[in-house]
A and B are shown apart, each in its own frame.
Chain A
Amino acid sequence: MRRVAIVGVGYSRVGRNTGLTETDLVIESSLAALADAGLETKDVDGVVSMGSDALRDAWMLGITPLDWFFAGGTGPAFVYAAHQAIAAIASGFCHTALALRIIPQQPTGAKLLGGAGAAHPMTAMLAQAVGDRQFSLPFGAGNPPQWAGLLTQRHMAQFGTTEEQFGRHVITQREHAALNDDAFFREPLTMEQYLTSRFVSKPLRILDCDYPCDSGSAVIFTTEERARDLRKPPVFVEASALSATRDLHFEILEDMAETSPKHCAEQLWARTDLRPKDVSVAGLYDGFSVITFQWLEALGFCERGGAGPFVAAGNTRLGGKIPVNTDGGACNVGRRHGANFCIEAVRQLRGECDARQVKDARVAVFSNSFGPFCGATLLTRD
């Protein structure tokens, strides 16, 4: 297998109700990543996307012919696109791939109640109680914050995890966000503010949820050989793992405390000589706080069930044992479905993170999703 490198990363403009169309998000993020790499469209021979039409995107941008393409279906968001790119380059199907995660802002709250959900790809499936959804939606269940509430409660019931420990995680991420110009939320947060923030599906609070917005994220993967000649120092894929442990149902998981990240992490560590103690910085998906907790345990940064005390002791802060979500996480930079953790990992390994830079960062891990399916990638620099 060929060694794979990341050579360019970029975002579109990101925000609430930006007026940006899906193609705007594709164009802005793709051009930003190409510029970061110092590449032109003619240098790219693969386009993979979660959330947009890869063939349309490639043609629109003038990327032809393609040696590899993938327009995602069901998969763990950005890390799924990343794996299509990594696998294609490692195996020789293509040499340079643009991986996208494109997310038009999802309707929430009153807009959902007003029926706006039917128009968005990520909420349309919640509008009809057909197929397996006849066993969730009629019961007033089936929405993501509700299954997140179930998984959060199980972690608390099984391991004694407390509200304050989730709060400490949320506060820590906010501290990191304060150092990131790209973050929406940068004001310090107190424990009292966390504990008085509203419940969405108790014990899950609004501050445990990522922040819906329009976002486009792009990452360019290529071969080690090509990476050596480009603008920025290459960041290498040391190991990567994609994992699914059942079909796509969170509410009836046979084990809610230990889900697919456990299997994924076992595969990841089996593919490298590096160990958890070698990791300088981690980007662990925070669609909901409990997801980050499961990854901390699965990857072996702390013991099984021990994420609460581990976080509360300050281990995930900048300067701690393993700084986690140094960009502030999706709760603060907005929903980018895991792409932000890849991009932040690359920037940390390049030493581009200014005030939030982890000193001498050499190894980074990023992960995406949990429950039925997930993925994680370990990155290094020279």
Chain B
Amino acid sequence: MSAATEMPSPLLPVPDALTQFFWDGVAQGELRIQRCRECRHYIHYPRPICRFCRSRDLTGERVSGRAALYSWTISTQAFHPFWVERVPYTIATVELVEQPRLMFLSQVIGCAEGELRAGLPLEVTFERVAPELTLPFFKPAGAAR
């Protein structure tokens, strides 16, 4: 445990051979999702084989970053020290526009609680939540933030 005066660090992702492309994309301000080069389906979370056609020819590909809000929850209790000072925040499951039911877990920012609704159009925005961590969050499409 760090001393009380230090800012706690977030849990940092541990990229591996299958997921490196995703975090490389985030570093460059791109949302990349794994895609099958054979049948062209997107796959998330990344897997070593395409569950639609069994191809092993997979790649990380940039997506538009557009999505529709599917569900959300206002996290009012922190489960990790980093988030204690940051509650409440809005965890969201969003459906990326590239493929039906291509779900992505993230946070929605820049949106009043009363504006949240199923189907709300969203777009990706890269948020530096800590010096060592930038995450692809979502905001209402066309919003300034």
Using a CB–CB distance below 8 Å, which chain A residues touch chain B? 109, 112-115, 126-132, 134-141, 143, 145-146, 149-154, 157-158, 198-204, 249, 251-256
Contact = CB atoms under 8 A, between A and B. Distances in A.
Contacts of A109: 77
Q: Which of B15, B72, B83, B86 has the most A CB atoms < 10 Å from its CB?
A: B72
B91 A128 contact: no
Interface string B68-83: 0011111111111111
Contacts of B54: none
List 4 A-B pairs, minimum CB-CB distance, nearest first: A149-B73, A134-B13, A202-B74, A154-B71
B134 to A, nearest CB: 10
Nearest to B134: A138
A251 to B, nearest CB: 4
A154 to B, nearest CB: 4
Contacts of B45: 132, 135, 249, 252
Contact of B72 (A112, A150, A199, A252): A150
Interface string B10-33: 111111100100000000000000
Contacts of B82: 140
Nearest to A132: B45
B11 A138 contact: yes
A143 B105 CA distance: 13
B13 A140 contact: no
B13 A199 contact: no
Contacts of A113: 78-81, 84
A140 B73 contact: no
14 contacts: A113-B84, A114-B1, A130-B14, A134-B19, A135-B105, A136-B105, A140-B10, A146-B73, A152-B73, A153-B72, A199-B76, A252-B103, A253-B93, A254-B101
B62 interface: no
B88 interface: yes
Nearest to B119: A157
Contacts of A198: 76
Contacts of A140: 10, 75, 78-80, 82-83, 86, 89, 91, 107
Interface residues of B, number: 41
Contacts of A154: 70-71, 118
B77 A201 contact: yes
Given A140-B91, A149-B91, A201-B73, 9 more contacts: A127-B11, A135-B44, A141-B107, A150-B72, A150-B91, A158-B118, A201-B76, A201-B77, A254-B103
A202 B76 contact: yes
A153 B62 CA distance: 30
Nearest to B15: A134
A141 B74 contact: no
Nearest to A123: B79
Nearest to A206: B77
B47 to A, nearest CB: 9
Q: Which of B12, B72, B79, B104 has the most A CB atoms < 10 Å from its CB?
A: B79
Contacts of A150: 71-73, 91, 93
B117 interface: yes
B70 A256 contact: yes
Given A152-B73, A157-B71, A256 B93 contact: yes
Contact of A139 (B1, B70, B107): B107
B71 A153 contact: yes
A372 to B, nearest CB: 13
B107 A138 contact: no
A214 B11 CA distance: 29
B11 to A, nearest CB: 5
A199 B10 CA distance: 23
B1 A252 contact: no
Nearest to B23: A134
B135 interface: yes
Contacts of A152: 73
A157 B93 contact: no
Contacts of B101: 254-255
Given A145-B77, A198-B76, A252-B45, A139 B106 contact: yes
